[in-house]
Amino acid sequence: MTKLENRCANCGGKLGLVCHHHWGLRFCRKACKNNFLAKTAKDHVCMRRWFGFLPRGVAYHEEKYQREHPGRR
């Protein structure tokens, strides 16, 4: 029987001789790590939208546009 610590954080597969790490999480393959990071990035964008936060960099560009084009929205 394998311990829970010896399992991939994404798919639950067994960890082999090589495992990939990200912030204390371990993954059995690089593809699992990349899938996990893509999924969490998508979730973070969704949560930012829920709470009304603008994506990174948008506020700066809107402010710059307002300075360059006064009176326009």
Residue 72 tokens, joined: 């326009």
Residue 1, pLDDT > 60, answer no
Sign of the C-alpha dihedral, residues 44, 45, 50, 51?
A: positive
**pLDDT tens track for 28-71:** 999 999 999 999 988 888 887 777 766 555 656 666 666 777 76
Q: Identify the three-state secondary structure at position 21.
A: strand
> What is the chain written as a DSSP string?
---GGGB-TTT-PBP-S--EEETTEEESSHHHHHHHHHHHHHHHHHHHHHTTPPPTTHHHHHHHHHHHSTT--
**Which pLDDT value is given to residue 32?**
93
Amino acid identity for residue 47 in this structure = M
